[in-house]
Structure formats: C-alpha cells, structure tokens
Chains A and B, each alone.
Chain A
Amino acid sequence: MPSAAHRSILGIVPALGELPIFRPGDRIRIRERSPIGHYRVPTYLRGKRGSVEAVIEPAAVDNEEEGYGRNAGSRRHYYRVAIPMTEIWPDYVGSSRDGLRIEVFETWLERI
C-alpha cells in the first residue's frame, strides 16, 4: 500500500473504503449490533474490546452480504483482532494471559 506521503506527492485520491480505517495497535470495540439474518460476528464477542493485530489484505466483500449472493463490490478490509479471554468471559478460568483472535469486517468495529 503506498504511504500517505507518497499519495499526497502524486495527488492520489483513494476510492471510498479502499484504504483501511484501522491500523495494527488501534484499540477497538466490536459493535453491539444484533442483526437479523446472516452474520459472521459471534454473539459472544459483541461489545468486547480489543486491539487490531493486523490488517488483512486485500480488501474483500462483506461476508454478511455475500451470504445473500453478493459476490463483488463494496470491498472493505477485515482486521485480525486480539481480545483477552478475561475481557470476553467475566468468570474466565485459565491464565490471565489467554487470548482470542478473530477476523472482523471493518463495519463491525469502532475506535475506542
């Protein structure tokens, strides 16, 4: 991905949704949405806080829309998110170091 500095030298304007919104290290929360119909963000993670570990490239179709036959268009990024087990389960039994990783579509994340 060309850097912001390079882009500005060339006068490049990226398309809407083309660039990742989040970067590794960003603190995020998984949204509290309860969609009806197909979803791929499990209920056990709604509202949980974590951090972005990696940006998955390339941008891809929203898998929730894909479930209804949309094979292309409106691509955004998925992010590999790290969440501590103690954040997910208030009564977690195990080591406080234990954690979870999951890939989440951009529209499911909010910056905190």
Chain B
Amino acid sequence: MSRQEKSRDQAHDHGHDHPHAEISQSERPGYYEIMETAVRELLIERKLIGADEIRRQIEVLDSRNPALGAKIVARAWVDPAFRARLLADGRAACEEFGITFYDDTLLIVLENTDKVHNLIVCTLCSCYPRPVLGLPPDWYKAKPYRARAVSEPRKVLAEFGTMIPDDVEVRVHDSTAMVRYLVLPKRPSGTENYSEEQLAALVTRDTMIGVVPATIDTGRKAP
C-alpha cells in the first residue's frame, strides 16, 4: 500500500462527515514528509540555506534524465573523435556537450566491445551517474541487484534477458568513491543509415547501466 493510500485510510477516523474543502486526504503528509518539511523550514529560517535553493535544485534534478546519456552515446557512435575524448575523460566530454556536473564526481565511460561487456553497480549504496542519467531506478538501489551483480553477474544479466557468450568478459564496476560510470553500449548492426536522433532513440537507461544491450528494436517505450 502506498504512503498516500495509507494516509487516506487513516484520515477518516476523526468522526465527522463534512467534506474537507482545503486539504484533501490524499495530500495529508506522512511522518517523514513532516520531518523533511520541518528540517527544511528550520534551515531556511536560520539562513543556512536559501528559500529558493531547494526548488532550483529540483529543477536541476528534473533536467537530468536518460535522454541526455542517449545523446552522448549517439554522438559517440557517429563521431570517432568525440568517442575518443569521451573514453579518455567522460566528465570533460559531457561538459563539452553542455551537461554540467553539479557535484564532485568524475565519469568514466565504459566501452562495450566484442571482447568486454560492462555492468555498473554500487554495492554499498546507490552511486549512479546522476548528472547524465538522472535518478536511478528502485531496483538498482535494492538489495538483490547490489548483492548479486558483483558475485553472479551473468545470472543477473540473464534475469534481464541478456546472455553474454563465455568468450566475452563480463566486467563489473563497483562505484564506491568519486568515480561514476556510464556504459557505452555497442551500436546495433543495421543502423548504418540512422541519423543521430534515430540512434539516440535506441539507447535506453538500462543499456547505459549495462543490464541490456542496445538493439535495433529498443524503443522509448521502456527505460
């Protein structure tokens, strides 16, 4: 049951039946939302953070999503010089592209080849290339993925429908420090005449985490 559903169920216990004009039951904040609101307001009152900074940072976060990473990958597929710069210094190449990094992380872009298939994980928490991909999916942050990606990566990949031949190395990257990773998937065959925009449409979030390869059938339908 979601938080909001829980609130809704508990809300009508106070024994009257007039309609609530201003605040609907589904908007009543839960315990942790109240805590977040209280912490934020106290910090603003004490001038430790600015009143508009949270709103602005939400805009920053909302502007980051897998479409950015997809554009980077598509550019790397069509422009060998950009690809080389991207592999040499991921952060610098993304910044050159216009993607600002609002934190102190570095970015290493991992090239999938005929010899190596890359997979990224953060076993200790949820480190993820947020400036380029936005926020990670729940499954990336949950125990099964974090525990098993480093010990049985091929089984994990199989759960995503991905089979990697034995003669290809599966290389798992555990981000625990300031470096973040982005997988550069292999360009699907049959896309020789695709425009950069058409190529970007084949690159989903999961291809850049490394759990699935990019295919000619991949659409924007799924992350």
Contact = CB atoms under 8 A, between A and B. Distances in A.
Interface size class of A (residues with CB under 8 A): 20 to 34
B174 A100 contact: yes
Nearest to A79: B177
Given A42-B123, A60-B178, A103-B177, A94 B153 contact: yes
Interface string B115-137: 00000000110000000000000
Contacts of A94: 152-154, 170
A54 to B, nearest CB: 9
B144 to A, nearest CB: 16
A interface, by DSSP: helix, strand, loop or mixed? mixed
Given A40-B124, A95-B168, A98-B170, A103 B176 contact: yes
A78 B34 CA distance: 40
A99 interface: yes
Interface in A48-103: 56, 60, 63, 78, 80, 85, 88-89, 92-95, 97-103
B218 to A, nearest CB: 25
Interface in A96-112: 97-105
A75 to B, nearest CB: 12
Interface in B96-113: 106, 108
Interface of A: 40-42, 44, 56, 60, 63, 78, 80, 85, 88-89, 92-95, 97-105
